[in-house]
Each structure stands twice: as structure tokens, then as C-alpha cells.
Amino acid sequence: MSAEVSKVVLAYSGGLDTSVIARWLQDTYNCEVVTFTADIGQGEEVEPARAKARAMGIKEIYIDDLREEFVRDYVFPMFRANTVYEGEYLLGTSIARPLIAKRLIEIANETGADAISHGATGKGNDQVRFELGAYALKPGIKVIAPWREWDLGSRESLMAYCKQHDIPVDYASAQKKSPYSMDANLLHISYEGDMLENPWSEPEEDMWRWSVSPEAAPDTPTYIEIDFERGDIVAIDGQAMSPATVLEQLNKVGGANGIGRDDLVENRYVGMKSRGCYETPGGTIMLKAHRAIESLTLDREVAHLKDELMPRYAKLIYNGYWWSPERKMLQVAIDDSQQVVNGKVRLKLYKGNVIVVGRQSADSLFDESIATFEDDAGAYDQADAEGFIKLNALRLRIAAKKGRSPL
């Protein structure tokens, strides 16, 4: 093995799993390890990972603040398409993986590494997402996935490995760790495992970290106004904000109003069904607001075509094909549609609900003189509707005359 790999870049959180992986790579492959820790808004300090890596003899340590890039170049483009997987999931984990894969490859190129490694298990989607991205960006890269190779199958065995190899781990903290498998970034936090493996079990209230329950949310609604430019949010309540700041603010106000909780069973790409719970307060608000401004500004057929394309686009992201030519092709069409998606949306947030109460745009296609129920002063000739209906009914009338009754 040592002849195959001389240097590997590891996606490193500093937690139990990736700390074990760092030492395991050194011992198993007799290679140099470079660690990469990404700050994508997970809400935990990433700098301690530097000290932990140094304690294991790691010389090249990358800790990158990718929050703005994450929201600007991945989350916002995805939300321009109103992307939802299987009708519910806002793809919080999925959309972070292509950015991490890209940075892993960039660091491999910078350091002359011939391999990358990650801590995704052999049962999940993340292994696919990381590796499809890596191969698309550097086809000759070697990928090492320890969970598919080693025989360390439990937290207890990982902790025993740490003690055996003098890996610096806070054992008390590791033992007190949440029973759930969790993933967090600026878009969401997810929970899987433990009692959630029974789809009939209701999540415990103290599991949720970002939001109050709808029942405990304020009895008075919160109103906010969101400004869009070319399909992206640029200001909240008149205050201009960067992409990451937009999502941080929406997470805060959404969580305070009990918005964004979801409990679903999804179909993983590897074939199994998985039950997970998600908190996506900011994303839930973004989706509702974006659809509201599009309802005012998009041509009908463009809007309907976007809705038809969206499930395919969502599946590409979920399955790990962000860097595929078909996703890029769809993105060009989606982004082109957003040139007119400009304006303001007013929302009422109340006990888990996001309610649109107003929308306005200089690019609006809403013509009150035509849509009015009052006198339209001849703007619309209602007599035109008769011919329109008869032409559209022509094939139905012909079939009925031939005895092809729909009854």
C-alpha cells in the first residue's frame, strides 16, 4: 500500500471519526496526511482542529472559511430552481458536498497529493457525492474511504483505537456525544440514527437545536421584507446583506418562529430508505419567498418548464452530480430565467408557517387593468374566450362524435 500513496488530503473535522482516520491513514498507507477543515457555518469552532492535527504530527493543515462561497455559489444557484428532493428535502447536506470535493482537489493539486480521503460510510450518499465530484475534477485521483476498508465498526472500537495509538481525543466528550448522526452547515442541520431508525417514533423535543417548536413560538407574528435581484436575496428589511449573512439572519428569525422542521423518509442513491429529521429555517423562508417573486415576474410557460425540470435537477444534486454536464446545462437555463426575478416579497412568520402577504416588482407581469373584476375599459374582450375554448375542445368533440366517450 505504501507504494501506491505518498500523500493524502483528508476532509478533517477534528472529531472522533476523522481523528482515527488521520492516524489510520498514516499507519496503513505509510503516507503523509494533509488535513482540510471547512467552515461552512456548522456552528462549531473549527480552529481546534488545527491543534488536534498538529498533535498527530500533521504538518500541512488547511482551515478555510467557505461560508460566503457556499451560499453564493451553491445554495443560491440551487434555490433559483426552487429545488426540493422528493417533495420535502431541501438538500442541505447534498449541496455542501461538491464544494468540499472541489476544495479537496484544489489542495491535492497545491500540495502534490496523490489521494484524498473522507469519513463517509459505505451505506450513505456522501461517499458517492464526494467521489463523483473528485473524479469529475481530477479523474486520476485515488480515493481512500476507510469505512469501506477497516474493521472498526462502532464508536467503542474507534475509541479503543484512539487509546491504543495515543490519539488526542476528549473521551468524556466523545461518550456524551449526541446519539444522532448529525450534519450541519449554514443551510441546515440533519439528524439520523438512534431512535429515528424507527419511522414510527416521534423525535424528542430536545433533539432540535435551531428552532423552537411551533407550539412554543411567539403568539405574535413576525413580518419581514425580502429583496431579490436576479433570483437571489440581496436585502432583508431594507438592509443589504452578503449571501452568508442573508442565510444566517433567516435562520435566526425562522428558528425563533418554529419554522423549518421536517421529518421524512427518503430514498438514498445506494438503494435503501432512510429516515431523517432536518431543520432548515432559512431555506424554508427562501423557497417560499422565491416562488412568490417568480409568480409575479416569470412568464407562465417558463415557470411551468422550471417546475418540470426541478425534480431532475434535485435528483442530480442529491445523487452527487453537481459537477456533471447535465447539471451545468440545466443551471444555464435556470439562471437565464432569473434575469427578471427582481423585486420585494413581504412575509408573515407565525408558529411554523411562512405566509406570503405581499409582493411587488418593476418586472411584474401582473396587469391589474386586465385581471380586474371591475370594468376593464375594454382591456380584455371576453368574447374572445369562446373561440379559444372551441379550438381547444376541437379534438375532444371529434373523438366524441366518433363514439369515443370519456365515460
Phi and psi for 256 in degrees, rounded to 5? -65, -20
Helices (H) and strands (E) in the chain, counts: 14, 14
Is 17 marked active-site? yes
Annotated active-site residue in 39, 126, 183, 232: 126
Helix (H) or strand (E) holding 116: strand 115-117
d(CA 22, CA 11): 9
Cell numbers linked to 165: 495509538
Q: Which of 181, 295, 324, 364 is catalytic?
A: 181
Sign of the C-alpha dihedral computed for residues 176, 179, 181 and 184 taken in this order? negative
DSSP 57-113: T--EEEEEE-HHHHIIIIIHHHHHTT--BTTTB--TTGGGHHHHHHHHHHHHHHHT-
Q: Is 405 a catalytic residue?
A: no
Verify whether residue 206 is a known catalytic residue.
no
- Helix 126-137 × helix 97-111 angle, to 10°: 50
Number of C-beta neighbours around residue 9 at 10 A? 28
Active site residue 369: no
Which candidate in 67, 80, 97, 261 is catalytic?
A: 97
How do beta strands 142-144 and 115-117 pair? Answer: parallel
Active-site annotation, residues: 17, 97, 126, 181
